[in-house]
Amino acid sequence: MVTVRTLTLGPGLEEENVALAMGLLPTPRGLADLPLPGLRNLIVFRVPMHIMRRIVLERSPLIGPLEQLYYAGRDDKDPNGWQYQVEKYHRIGYLKSSRYYDIVGRQWL
Domain definitions of the chain by residue range: 6-104
CA 50/CA 12 separation, integer angstroms: 18
Tens digit of pLDDT at every position of the chain (109 positions): 567 788 888 777 777 888 888 888 877 766 665 667 788 899 888 888 888 888 888 888 888 889 999 888 765 566 567 888 899 888 876 655 555 556 666 655 4
- List, in order, residues 6 or more apart from 108 with CB less than 8 Å away: 5, 6, 41
What's the pLDDT score for residue 67?
A: 92
51: three-class secondary structure by DSSP: helix
Per residue in 48-68, is it b (16+ CB within 10 Å) or e — as a string?
Answer: eeebbbbbbeebeeebebbeb
CA atoms within 13 A on the CB side of 102: 9
